[in-house]
Structure 1
Amino acid sequence: MLTNNLGYPRIGSKRELKKASEQYWSGKSTYKNLVQVGKNIRKENWLLQKNSGIDLIPSNDFSFYDQVLDMSLMLGAIPKRYKELAEELKNPLDLYFAMARGYQRNGYDVTAMEMTKWFDTNYHYIVPEFYENQDFKLFSTKVIDEFYEAKQLGIITKPVLIGPVSYLLLGKEREKGFEKIQLINKILPVYLEIIEKLNDLGVEWIQFEEPFLALDLSKEEKEAFKEVYLKLKSSFPKIKIMVTTYFEAVVNNISLISNDLLVDALHIDLVRCPEQLEEVLEKVSSRIHLSLGVIDGRNIWKNEYQKSLNYITKAVEYRTKDTIMIAPSCSLLHSPCDLDLESSNTNISSEIKGWMSFAKQKLSEVVTLKQLFLCKEGDPILVALEENIKIHIEKKQSKQIHNPEVKERIHAINENNTVRKNSFTFRKKEQSKELKLPLFPTTTIGSFPQTKEVRGWRYQFKKGDISAEYYNELISEEIKKTIRWQEEVGLDVLVHGEFERNDMVEYFGEQLDGFAFTKFGWVQSYGSRCVKPPVIYGSVSRPNKMTIDWTTYAQSLTTKLVKGMLTGPVTILQWSFVRNDQPRSITCKEIALAIRDEVKDLEENGIKIIQIDEPALREGLPLQQKDWAGYLAWAIEAFRISSSVVSNSTQIHTHMCYSEFNDILDHIALMDADVITIECSRSQMELLDAFADFEYPNDIGPGVYDIHAPRIPNADEIIELINKAQQYVPEEQLWINPDCGLKTRGWQETKKALEAMVSAALQLRESVLETTE
């Protein structure tokens, strides 16, 4: 019986990689320093896993930005627009960052590659771009270099590669007339070349990430799987091939896996889909080793050993224990690094902390489960099982978890709580009279740059180094400057800038009951962007108003409209570590009621436009289409609970970004937000293609520039994007806005970009006037 780990966090326990990357990008540090930081993190991770007792330790799970982008560079899948730039840049890492972030200097102006969500997580990956006659070649030897690097430390690792089929399915065709899966025979030789080099270095196991094996597959895709793994195994019969799946059950493709997939091991996610175990055991050939994903790789709760041991016992009934591996459900990329760092955190009670487990602790859980399964009566390790059982009993009985008043409110929800008073058509007339907005109204998504100074004030305030009065004075002045600048540039609907907010979810969680907060519970969202998800451990409620003071203060500074800015219930749920002792739908409704109370208070305090962001709505969609209806029903209901309390003349906005929305547009329409803003710039308005078939009933703001890259658009570029949007959406329904909040950008680039955006809107209005005269 082996212990197996699929991947480990690469940001460093104190976000060392984030800091080193941003220093390098800003020119404040060297390439040599950045490379050394990466090397230090890899070494620390490998030695930690070895010392913890993990048998199969991954390599190439480290990344300077994104593992899918790593694979694109490895395969030479570099978009055509980077060809000239690739010859100019000093090293492949600079090209790599340019592909992720765009490049706009030294006479070059190259857009970044598209970014979207990694399945139903809050991690974002860089989308590969494919062309019909595309050639692939070995461009980067990263996976080979890192295997050798670990070998020098005395560790024979298990290299991790995104499998050939899943890699293609993660990408997009940039030309019409071909299917990306047709490229399988072009990329396979590069994979074979990589494996040949690994074989020469003495590799034993290779892990191929094939999460699409848990999704619905076409006939062509199934054939590609068969062809790929036949070729890999026949070419390298001595190398052990492991295929990993996660986030869903593999039962839809179980015949393919058992009969046609020449692999040595299969990993399945028993946290997300425990019901698949029996069918896998019955139908998957016993020649295939099974890696049982029994430790939750996406949440922070301690494993329930007895439940996991039951799964392991069940598996051993069907096959010998030497064909069973014990593992986390997925890569620990989605977990914080180390609970030990929270020892001084007084914001979490010792009781709640005792229920938790981060990546480092999950390694120990994997090893302990192996020891418990193999131990004999009287073995000292059995104490660990007794303690674990006791912890879970105490958790279920804890008074911190359940609030009877919240449960009563949930039971009292009815249809009247989930619908606006009138239809959008009626509401739009009322809002037009009340708000008096021009054609192509301009706004931003909410946040403005959080400078080093702003973050410093918040840090000093939390430490107690400055008083609440002085902190509030600083924030007030920053809001005032931001309002004045927005007035000067000519934006139509203003925001207060969110300078008092650390994170769009954490800020609200800190003010809601049922939430706890870590100090070092960081996980990677994309690139150097890390988030520290709140921990929802109990019933959620709003004890006090959360945003009223700063929003009404901002509105008092201007005669223009200021949006109230809230995070929606589904996003708060998705971007938190959620309690696992009740359905997620119930927790989501609890959050929705808390947001509803805030919406009502904002309206009563004179705020006429309220934005309830739901960027995670699509992210939460189950991976198999048969499960969509159930999720969408409660997710849409939660949004409507939060938003339907207002009058007809109050305009409700929502925002969504970095997901594929085309397949659920009808459900997005059912949210009945007056205005939706969505990300469209990286895909060059590709998301709007769906509007050719679906007539979206309400107003929409397709994001006109990409805020996740430092590149600054010009007015002509924005006009071109809006003209594309007008092919699908009538001009009277269009808003003009960035595709996301501006928190991570600098003021200089933000001002230039928004000036270009407002200029574009003015030119568009003038062109309409000229046409009508």
Structure 2
Amino acid sequence: MALAGNLGYPRIGPERELKRETEAYWNGGLGASELLSAASQLRRRAWSVQQELGIDLIPCNDFSLYDHVLDAVALVGAVPARYGWGGGAVDLDIYFAMARGAQREGLDVGAMEMTKWFDTNYHYIVPEFAAGQSFSLSSSKAFDELAEAHSAGVKAKPVLLGPVSLILLGKSREPGLNPLAELLEPLTEVYGQVIARLAGAGAEWIQLDEPFLVRDTRRDELAALERAYGVLAAKKGSARLILQSYFGHVGEAYPALCDLPVDALGLDLVRGPQNLQLIQRHGLPGDKWLVAGVVDGRNIWISNLDSALTQLESLAGLVGSADRLIVAPSCSLLHVPIDVNRETELDPELRSWLAFTDQKLAEVVTLTRGLNDGRTAIAGELAGNARALKSRRASRRTCNPEVRGRLAGLDERAGQRQSVFERRRAAQRASLVLPALLPTTSIGSYPQTAEVRQMRGRHRKGELSQREYEGFIETEIRKVIELQEDIGLDVLVHGEFERTDMVEYFAQQLDGYAFTRHGWVQSYGSRYVRPPILYGDIERPQAMTVRWFRYAQSLTDKPVKGMLTGPVTMLQWSFVRDDQPRSETCRQLALAVRDEVLDLEAARAKVIQVDEPALREGLPLRRADWQDYLDWAVGAFRLATGGVADATQIHTHMCYSEFNDIIEAIAAMDADVLLIENARSGAELLEVFKEFNYRNEIGPGVYDIHSPRIPSVGEMEEQLRASLRVLENSQVWVTPDCGLKTRSYDECVPALRNMVEAARRVRSALAT
């Protein structure tokens, strides 16, 4: 009999309980025991739901208070020395200090670096490795949660980030260190202890995630995998080991995976359909199970159950029997909301096209039953699924002939600025009254206080009229303009108090989008997002931001930026329709943004920021697929920004990006000012701009807004000086890493004052 499996369940809770409890703990309103008790309740609920749905292999240790990669760091004691850890168990204070930084008696330290989890909008804490580093078993979390599951009557499957991926996802600041060659052996020894202890505690299956396998793999990486899993297999006792991959196909690594001493291989058959061809070509060893990821764990559309079942029937023939199949989602369901049935305000037809976590697990169970008992056993489910799919294909709401006609009528000039950058820079400097060196700005948003959220909620409930709400927003804008002038910033922003989210705000004003009330997913830590649903052709009925820009600009003589989200980020941070190429959907978004850019320019905006923090996360995981993506992604940005005059300055902002391998694409975007998240990475991130001879202007973030810690003037001076050692003086802008929405005014105001003072000091030194 085939089994129904799951790779991971959302951690956040149906009411975002995890956010509430962790933030209360950070603020001192909740004790450690209370936080851990709340976490236990969330885990038990998740297990209960999966049991009721009929999942056979229910994961445990997929829960995390902050990040599963950080959990792995704690598990093996890979705590950087600066956190003052004395050995023993990694406690909550050390754990959260690594995640968020800490300022308390005897400790003033920044957070560890954070970056995107493969090509998703989830962020992980980047492990750090040093020469001669030792590892030790330093967390009981995996064992405690297995015991907790057993006490709840659940034969759970522990989930661990595999040792090779843990090393490859990390970084070392020591030149010449090869962590894979030098540190894998001691790391694997600790993993062996973990496997042995889990097996001894009654784990029948243990899932080891090795997502690095869906990237271009090297021989030394596969050799490392062979060494590591030889050790782990010797420690597993009667437990079965699953080597799990996701987010793509394993390509050239497949034959090597077949030779590993593991009991099951987990393959993504949604984003990696080539995996089916690999099985057809090479077969599957007779001693191995296949975890068949046939339900999309990354998007929210219902599966085509008939097609998925046909694929599973084919796989059963290829591997010899359905008894060697585990039906599963393509990846952890961390990336989708929990339950679509709660979305009672959605149009019923649209809702019938959607599947969130619980619905996807129901699909897994249905497919498993169909495979085991035959199609007649699930005839009703197959018929209902076919009706919903037919409804979506036939719906008129997905197609807008006018939008398609406009796009078809564009020529290549639509994506080109009028002049080269040097000529544009001269026009912009004549138009903008800014310091000749190191102009200062902020990225966009300012703190969304409890009052802002309360007033927005009252307006949404009808307790506040539109006029009253707009009056409140105007007051907040006036206060933040006055604040920025008092701080001494050169280019101002209006604060974005009217916006819940940098994607949702725009999506709400575009045709072709729908929205959820409870559709939250984790971005990082306690930062959750609610991606809108892009189901049809995109059109902008009217201006979206001009009203607030005009008001903000009327309050000051300094330039105020028009603030927009770029087309690639709108695409990446939405749940996107899967019935047409993503490139075509992105062009539709670019056309809508272009219309808004031109309206802002007509309203006399001299600086317009079109943010593309998600540009790199959309990059395919295999290099052979990069150029096609970069061509259409850069083309979409240029279409969005290419219509303005030379004197209009286009800014863009990017998050957590490694630029070395896409620098040509960044240059091709031709933004006048590129603002980048850099405070956790240091000046080495900027070396590529020097090597490439990048000529446009750059604002490397000088302080980390993801940490509550307030950096000193001296620290930011050093950040600036480090940037100036790599970049030309005339290129550099001074800015925080990112928007300030999630910080408090008590945190961001002193940090901004320190930032402006640091810029003044360095500017003065450069002038002497």
TM range (shorter): over 0.9
Aligned match of 2:138: 139
C-alpha contact 1:372 1:385 (8 A) present in aligned 2: no
Aligned match of 1:95: 94
- Give the whole-Å Cα distance in 2 for the aligned partners of 1:168 and 1:508: 39
* Deviations, residues 540-590 of structure 1 (Å, cap 9, x unaligned): 010010000001100000000000000000000000000010011111110
C-alpha contact 1:215 1:252 (8 A) present in aligned 2: no
C-alpha contact 2:90 2:139 (8 A) present in aligned 1: no
- Give the whole-Å Cα distance in 1 for the aligned partners of 2:164 and 2:106: 37
Aligned match of 1:226: 226
Describe how 1:158-557 pairs up with structure 2 within 5 A. 158-182=157-181, 183-259=183-259, 261-283=260-282, 284-319=284-319, 320-343=321-344, 345=345, 348-376=346-374, 378-379=376-377, 381-438=378-435, 439-557=437-555
Describe how 1:718-733 pairs up with structure 2 within 5 A. 718-733=716-731
2:634 counterpart (636, 645, 649): 636
Aligned match of 2:748: 750
Aligned match of 2:31: 30
* Deviations, residues 453-503 of structure 1 (Å, cap 9, x unaligned): 001111100110011111111110110010011111110000000000000
Q: Describe the shift of the 1:37–1:378 C-alpha distance in structure 2 as closer, same or farther (beyond 3 A).
A: same
Deviation at 1:692, TM superposition (A): 4.0
Q: Identify which range, 351-360 or 658-667, moves more after superposition.
A: 658-667
- Give the whole-Å Cα distance in 2 for the aligned partners of 1:20 and 1:265: 37
- Give the whole-Å Cα distance in 2 for the aligned partners of 1:202 and 1:373: 29
After TM superposition, the score normalised by the length of structure 2 is: 0.98
C-alpha contact 2:195 2:235 (8 A) present in aligned 1: no
Aligned match of 1:40: 41
Aligned match of 2:13: 12
Q: Describe the shift of the 1:263–1:601 C-alpha distance in structure 2 as closer, same or farther (beyond 3 A).
A: same
C-alpha contact 2:322 2:372 (8 A) present in aligned 1: no
Secondary structure at the residue paired with 2:186?
Answer: helix
Aligned match of 1:716: 714
1:620 counterpart (618, 624, 632): 618
- Give the whole-Å Cα distance in 2 for the aligned partners of 1:409 and 1:257: 49
- Give the whole-Å Cα distance in 2 for the aligned partners of 1:645 and 1:397: 36
C-alpha contact 1:446 1:495 (8 A) present in aligned 2: yes
- Give the whole-Å Cα distance in 2 for the aligned partners of 1:723 and 1:401: 52
C-alpha contact 1:215 1:623 (8 A) present in aligned 2: yes
Q: Identify which range, 653-662 or 53-62, moves more after superposition.
A: 653-662
Secondary structure at the residue paired with 1:129?
Answer: coil
Deviation at 1:90, TM superposition (A): 11
Deviation at 1:378, TM superposition (A): 4.6
Deviation at 1:268, TM superposition (A): 1.0
1:425 partner amino acid: E
Secondary structure at the residue paired with 2:617?
Answer: coil
- Give the whole-Å Cα distance in 1 for the aligned partners of 2:49 and 2:630: 41
Deviation at 1:151, TM superposition (A): 0.7
Structure 2: state its 5+ residue gaps: none
Secondary structure at the residue paired with 1:561?
Answer: coil
* Deviations, residues 653-710 of structure 1 (Å, cap 9, x unaligned): 0000123222111111110000000011011233113234221120000000000000
1:456 partner amino acid: Q
Deviation at 1:376, TM superposition (A): 4.0
Q: Identify which range, 571-580 or 432-441, moves more after superposition.
A: 432-441
1:577 partner amino acid: F
C-alpha contact 2:721 2:762 (8 A) present in aligned 1: no
Count of aligned positions: 763
C-alpha contact 1:680 1:686 (8 A) present in aligned 2: no
- Are 1:53 and 2:51 matched, yes or no? no
- Give the whole-Å Cα distance in 2 for the aligned partners of 1:753 and 1:704: 10
Structure 1: state its 5+ residue gaps: none
Secondary structure at the residue paired with 2:243?
Answer: strand
Secondary structure at the residue paired with 1:172?
Answer: coil
* Deviations, residues 91-110 of structure 1 (Å, cap 9, x unaligned): 70121011100001224211
After TM superposition, the score normalised by the length of structure 1 is: 0.97
- Give the whole-Å Cα distance in 1 for the aligned partners of 2:347 and 2:240: 45
1:296 partner amino acid: D
Secondary structure at the residue paired with 2:695?
Answer: coil
- Give the whole-Å Cα distance in 2 for the aligned partners of 1:392 and 1:90: 51
Q: Describe the shift of the 1:643–1:120 C-alpha distance in structure 2 as closer, same or farther (beyond 3 A).
A: same
C-alpha contact 1:214 1:252 (8 A) present in aligned 2: no
C-alpha contact 2:193 2:235 (8 A) present in aligned 1: no
- Give the whole-Å Cα distance in 2 for the aligned partners of 1:550 and 1:422: 30
- Give the whole-Å Cα distance in 1 for the aligned partners of 2:456 and 2:700: 33
- Give the whole-Å Cα distance in 2 for the aligned partners of 1:249 and 1:217: 11
* Deviations, residues 624-674 of structure 1 (Å, cap 9, x unaligned): 011000000000000000000100000000000123222111111110000
Q: Identify which range, 653-662 or 1-10, moves more after superposition.
A: 653-662
Aligned match of 2:734: 736
- Are 1:111 and 2:110 matched, yes or no? yes
- Give the whole-Å Cα distance in 1 for the aligned partners of 2:118 and 2:214: 11
1:226 partner amino acid: E
C-alpha contact 2:77 2:90 (8 A) present in aligned 1: no
Deviation at 1:33, TM superposition (A): 1.6
2:389 partner amino acid: H
Deviation at 1:609, TM superposition (A): 0.1
Secondary structure at the residue paired with 2:208?
Answer: strand
Aligned match of 2:80: 79
